[in-house]
Amino acid sequence: MKNKAIILIILISLLLNTLSAQEKTHKLTINLSVSKKTENSFLPDGRLFIFLNKNPYAEPMTQTWPNPGNFIFARNFKGFHPDKILRIDNYDGWVKTPDWTLDNIPEGEYYVQVLWDQDTRESNIDAPGNVYSEKQKIELNRSLSLDLVLDRIIEPREIIKHSLVREITLQSDTLTRWWGKPVYLKASVLLPGDYGKEPGQAYPICYNIAGYGGRYTRINNIVSRKSTMEWWQSEEAPGIIYVFLDGEGPFGDSYQMDSDNSGPYGYSLINELIPYIESNFRGTDSPETRFLDGCSTGGWVSLALQLFYPDFFNGAFSYSPDPVDFDHFLLINIYRDKNAYINEHGYLRPIMRDVTGEPIMSLKDFIQYENVLGSSDTYLNSGGQFSAHTALYGPAGDSGLPQPLFDPVTGEIDRDVAEHWKKYDLKKYAEQNWSWLGPKLQGKIFIWMGDMDNFYLNPATRSLGNFLRNSKNPVSDAEIIFTPMQGHCTQYSFIEVISKIGEKLNR
């Protein structure tokens, strides 16, 4: 009898705890309006994002990375007129990143912000012209009705003012024909310190490709560093023109490559943008003085451009490249595995870790953030990493979207699409073409990788490295460095890359 009483007390306690936990969730109702200062540029059709965040030091709308304190909700709307108030109290049809909905938010302190994505020219939500609200702090200890105003506009991007900096906007005839509308390529140029003193001199050029989604405005970061610019303008720095290519493409980063979905970005780079830059800024117009560098996405693109255009460039400095062997696409073997999210042991696949090996996030969670960012409610047009991979490597699908390698919800891999990806499997490309490609790559390949890369990129680079080290006819002289216990891009250095190019030019 005593035991029964104890059991009953425990059950009652558990029930009360459950009820208490259920009571500690609340509904958020949002009354959304458009301010007078933004209504003239406001478009009635778009995608509405609601951001809840725990970080007091950040704009919630910038926190699109899968962290525990970042929560995103999104839905497409048509006919949202600026003279009306949009009352948001029904959350059917919204896609989201957390398990809970805005009907039952866990009690606590949040920062709330909304963004109206009305831009159709750029792939990401931070596009100029999109409208957003000021962030508001709320203490959610009861159901709450919140008034928010779309009263701010994302301003156009600007390049830093400096005597050695130039900005390029070039309409691509090739991409314009392909898309049936004007398509412009952007870039920024950092001229060498003595450029104005030597009006007749031609210069070598290095083309920098950014980490994922990096824009041409990243030149601002370099020029803002006093010590870097002092070195750049000193006699120690080799006289090189440094070009920052723009990562923007229709489905995220264009990867500077031809694609069934995005169009001939590779052709446009090689035949339009680079000739324009070299003719207007006194490039030498010689493959011997044309180089590439980058890290992460930029590491893959720099290496891929050197492989696919071996006579056009004289060296690629590739740091922590994206997967160069799709047998090791992160932790997925796309040709063998059945599911991207679940491995053969039944565990969720991680996509990120710290340098001790501790997993930080799963691929499934990462993709759900992209699913929320995409107006299709899938990662296929999210503007994120997997949107870009799918657009570049895969075939065109239905409704103007790329055909996915794996299902956005279940993770099931499409074997036919995996076969289509092979053309951009860099290891397979090198293996299949080595007899003619190998001689053209001598002295042109430098690869660095941390052996605890945060995104599990080292196995793919190891695989490519093993092929290059064991290559015959010719034996590759590629310089491949793996550093123990180093993470993603930790060894990349602008000054080191420029110095390596200078050494190569002086040999």
For residues 312 and 357, state if they share a domain. no
Confidence of residue 146 (pLDDT cuts 50, 70, 90): very high
Furthest-apart CA atoms within the chain: distance in Å: 101
Q: Taking residues 401-407, what's their average pLDDT?
A: 98
For residues 418 and 437, state if they share a domain. no
Q: What is the pLDDT of residue 4?
A: 54
For residues 26 and 141, state if they share a domain. yes
Task: Give residue 415's domain range.
Answer: 327-423
429-438 pLDDT tens trace: 999 999 999 9
Q: Nearest 5°: CA angle at 210, between 208 and 211?
A: 145
Least confident of 166-170, 206-210, 283-287: 283-287
Computed on alpha carbons and rounded to an integer, the radius of gyration of the chain in Å comes to 26
Give the integer Cα–Cα distance in Å for 381 and 158: 26
Least confident of 1-10, 222-231, 354-363: 1-10
Give the integer Cα–Cα distance in Å for 29 and 138: 12
Domain boundary among 90, 124, 153: 153
Percent of the chain with pLDDT over 90: 92
Give the integer Cα–Cα distance in Å for 155 and 35: 16
Any domain includes 160: no
61 secondary structure, DSSP code: G
Confidence of residue 10 (pLDDT cuts 50, 70, 90): very low
Least confident of 123-127, 144-148, 214-218, 503-507: 503-507
Closest by Cα among 318, 329, 307, 344 to 431: 307
445 CB contacts (<8 Å, ≥6 apart)?
303, 306, 315, 316, 318, 468, 476, 477, 478, 479, 480
pLDDT greater than 90 at residue 7 = no
Confidence of residue 68 (pLDDT cuts 50, 70, 90): confident
Give how far the C-alpha of residue 252 lies from the chain's centroid of Cα atoms, to the nearest Å: 7
Which has more confidence, 499 or 399?
499
pLDDT greater than 80 at residue 22 = no
For residues 297 and 195, state if they share a domain. yes
Any domain includes 350: yes
How far is residue 129 from each of residues 122, 149, 154, 155, 221, measured CA to CA in Å? Answer: 10, 16, 5, 7, 23
Give 506's Cβ-side CA count (13 Å radius): 10
Any domain includes 10: no
Domain boundary among 423, 453, 470: 423
Any domain includes 187: yes
Give the integer Cα–Cα distance in Å for 390 and 414: 12
For residues 289 and 401, state if they share a domain. no
Confidence of residue 8 (pLDDT cuts 50, 70, 90): very low
For residues 215 and 76, state if they share a domain. no
* Domain CATH number, residue 290: 3.40.50.1820
Any domain includes 415: yes
Any domain includes 2: no
pLDDT greater than 50 at residue 176 = yes
For residues 223 and 290, state if they share a domain. yes
379: tokens are: 């990662």
For residues 251 and 344, state if they share a domain. no
208-238 pLDDT tens trace: 999 999 999 999 999 999 999 999 999 999 9
Any domain includes 369: yes
pLDDT greater than 90 at residue 14 = no
Q: What is the pLDDT of residue 3?
A: 53
439-495 pLDDT tens trace: 999 999 999 999 999 999 999 999 999 999 999 999 999 999 999 999 999 999 999
For residues 143 and 28, state if they share a domain. yes
Give the count of domains, the chain: 3
* Domain CATH number, residue 26: 2.60.40
Domain boundary among 423, 448, 472: 423
pLDDT greater than 90 at residue 295 = yes
Reduced to 3 states (helix: H, G, I; strand: E, B; else coil), residue 178 is helix
For residues 126 and 229, state if they share a domain. no
For residues 78 and 108, state if they share a domain. yes
For residues 321 and 364, state if they share a domain. no
Give the integer Cα–Cα distance in Å for 298 and 25: 44
pLDDT greater than 50 at residue 259 = yes
